[in-house]
Structure 1
Amino acid sequence: MDYQQKNMSVLVTGATGFIAQHIVNDLLKQGYKVIGTVRSEDKGKKLKSQFGNNDLLEMEVVPDIAQPRAFDDIFKKYSSEIKVVLHTASPFHFRATDYEKELLIPAIQGTKGLLQSIMEFGSQTVEHVVITSSIAAIKDTYRFLEKDLVYTEDNWNPISWSESQLNPQDAYRGSKNFAEKAAWDFLQHNKGLIKLNLTTINPALIFGPQLFAENITGTLNTSAEVINSFLQSMPDRDITNIRGDFVDVRDVSKAHLLAFQNEEAIGKRLGLSAGQFNGQDLAEILNRRFQQLRGVIPPCTSEGAYKIQPYAKFDNSKTKEILGFEFITLEKSLCDTAAQILKKEY
């Protein structure tokens, strides 16, 4: 599918995000014109500057994606240009206290509002929407430790609305689950009114370096903070509860582009996982590769995730076949992330 055409733009919502910055970078490298949404003019100016004031990058302010008609003006302004929309904007943190207001409603309304704006003002030009969902919309958290259970891209997390009110973690899982379902339901409900291809990207916990080292701060985005907090932990920290599936941010970005470039991705959920890890895997790699961390972080005392702590596995072989590239390994992703953080700190 040839999308590299004159007068054609890719809209990236939430352009200042961890994943989105890598996506914008990859799009610019491939010669696309990019329209990025940001929450404030200052954020837009900073991001534009970080990309060297690239002429192919435009910034548009959307203060609150959950507000009605939040994206209307963008599609009115660029109605003849936007053919692809990459929707990455959605809250991801575990600090919420009002779960509906801070996580659930912004995720759901942001997705539905975007699609509504496309239907009203971009239905003649927008051809493909790619939505950043999550493995949280696939896996049933309460069955996570069942070692013989295998998930695929076809599974859905059965979390209910009431269950999503229990804690910040379940609120986030619910937000991704309900927002993604809203997108598929919108497409089905408006099948005769809108001709639109949809693909969702469902990544596991995302490791990897920040695109710009200056974005390294004391506390990083939620997924990268797993590594950051590990680097700042004490040697006696209990790391037995750290476990999950992972994928590198650079692979997540690559998958977003392939999602609209590869016809085989139309109508698919692309599950991104490079494998499983646990705290002992992190400890083993970091102690072996970074001498200055020995005695500072928890030591490696046993074997890693595949050998002593098996849990529900994610079979994403369908996704791997569609994407056609090898995922970055845990060691490379972890070391690239740690090296960037340590260079800033030490």
Structure 2
Amino acid sequence: MSVLVTGCTGFIAQYIVRDLLDQNYRVIGTVRSASKGKNLKTLFNNNPFFVTEVVEDIAVPNAFDRVFQKYRDEIRVVLHTASPVHFNAEDYEKELLIPAIHGTRSVLESIKKFGAQTVERVVITSSIAAMKDPFKYDDENFVYNEDSWSPLTWETCQLNPQDAYRGSKKFAEQVAWDFLKENKDVLKYKMATVNPSMIFGPQLFDQSVTSVLNTSAEVINSLLHSGPDNDLSKVRNDFVDVRDVSKAHLLAFQKSECIGQRLGLSSGQFNGQDIAQILNKRFPKLEGTLPKVTGEGAYKNNPYAKFDNSKTKKILGIEFKTLEETVYDTAAQILKVEGKL
């Protein structure tokens, strides 16, 4: 069975490719350039079960047509992970909203044209941002779950890059559910979405560790190098380990219980003090260079809206990695590459 993974050079997608190969799937990954594909295949030791295809811009019409035409008799599962993830945008529509929405619609249109009766499962990588109400984030008594939708509108999500990203995930996911509903009479596939919170964890390959990491892992990287006087008061969110996110993507198409589900991935809440405590505890040799521990963790100090993902945990049946495990593994890899460990 062949699985198409869009955006396969991404942080999550690389783990997904590895896990698929470990389970003997044939993997077809889309990349933005031939050089990126060649480099990634080298990292995977040129595994013959892994091939890459160039899709330069996922947002243009018919972007994935050539891939589906080429592998139309092979692709049974599509894992759509490709979407912009950053907070540096200036033109929110052009850089975040439109690519996320059009990229999702583009891959689904290609399935409809070339794989309507052969593609069996589709998994869309969404985000907890599509579920979270940013206007109630500071309400410690507010509880949301997998059935919740962000109230952001097209207008309100364009006030800052954070809300633009949140809006891009919401609207792209809605496109996917609406597309399936509108074409249910001609499409064979069943769908699930994976909605992770902030994703920590080490890079799959040490070569990917650079001075600035992907948006979520950079939280730990920046704290690791921020010095003892860094203000940690604004660092807080829900978290999940990248290895659990990858595992959830595979289970999302392997388990029938996942059909039609929005799988909310969170191992719990954290704040800056939680991370500072772990770094100081696990890396005592770095004392004096790490952020100081001056307060308490997320559940005692300024708690915020809670995410109830008990349904997802029951469906997936996996034990999510703890904050200490994911922070330690992330920081240890960075320090190893820097020659400090």
Structure 1 unaligned blocks of 5 or more: 1-7
Matched position secondary structure for 2:299: helix
Alignment-derived partner of residue 90 in structure 2 = 97
Distance 1:198 1:163 in 2: 29
Correspondence 1:285 to 2:278: yes
- Counterpart amino acid of 1:341? I
Among candidates 31, 35, 43, match of residue 42 of structure 1? 35
Among candidates 9, 13, 19, match of residue 20 of structure 1? 13
C-alpha RMSD of the superposition: 0.6
- Counterpart amino acid of 2:16? I
Alignment-derived partner of residue 150 in structure 2 = 157
Alignment-derived partner of residue 50 in structure 2 = 57
What is the percent sequence identity of the aligned residues?
A: 67
User: How many residues are treated as equivalent by the alignment?
Assistant: 339
Correspondence 1:77 to 2:70: yes
Matched position secondary structure for 1:76: helix
Alignment-derived partner of residue 320 in structure 1 = 313
Among candidates 175, 180, 200, match of residue 207 of structure 1? 200
Distance 2:228 2:124 in 1: 40
Alignment-derived partner of residue 262 in structure 2 = 269
Distance 1:282 1:18 in 2: 21
- State how 1:191-270 maps to structure 2 within 5 Å: 191-270=184-263
Say if 2:88 and 2:161, in contact at 8 Å, map to a contact too. yes
Matched position secondary structure for 2:184: coil
What CA deviation, in whole Å up to 9, does each residue of 1:248-294 have, x standing for no partner? 00000000000000000000000000000000000001001101321
Shift of 1:344: 1.2
Matched position secondary structure for 1:256: helix
Distance 1:247 1:311 in 2: 17
Correspondence 1:127 to 2:153: no
Among candidates 181, 187, 190, match of residue 183 of structure 2? 190
Distance 1:207 1:277 in 2: 11
What CA deviation, in whole Å up to 9, does each residue of 1:111-158 have, x standing for no partner? 011101000101121011000000000001111010001111000001
Correspondence 1:10 to 2:3: yes
Alignment-derived partner of residue 323 in structure 2 = 330
Extract structure 1 runs of 4+ deviating beyond 2 A. none
Shift of 1:192: 1.2
Alignment-derived partner of residue 5 in structure 1 = none
Shift of 1:312: 0.5
Say if 2:118 and 2:188, in contact at 8 Å, map to a contact too. no
What CA deviation, in whole Å up to 9, does each residue of 1:275-318 have, x standing for no partner? 00000000001001101321112111121111122110000000
Alignment-derived partner of residue 4 in structure 1 = none
- Counterpart amino acid of 1:121? F
Among candidates 180, 201, 204, match of residue 173 of structure 2? 180
- Counterpart amino acid of 1:321? K
Matched position secondary structure for 1:295: coil
- Counterpart amino acid of 1:208? G
- Counterpart amino acid of 2:259? I
Alignment-derived partner of residue 33 in structure 1 = 26
Distance 2:139 2:336 in 1: 39
Q: Give TM-score scaled by structure 1 length.
A: 0.97
Shift of 1:234: 2.0
- Counterpart amino acid of 1:134? S
Matched position secondary structure for 2:116: coil
- Counterpart amino acid of 1:88? T
- Counterpart amino acid of 2:231? D
Correspondence 1:86 to 2:79: yes
Distance 2:81 2:142 in 1: 29
Q: Give TM-score scaled by structure 2 length.
A: 0.99
Matched position secondary structure for 2:56: coil
Distance 1:313 1:288 in 2: 27
Distance 1:142 1:218 in 2: 33
Say if 2:58 and 2:103, in contact at 8 Å, map to a contact too. yes
Distance 1:293 1:191 in 2: 57
Distance 2:4 2:40 in 1: 15
Distance 1:344 1:131 in 2: 33
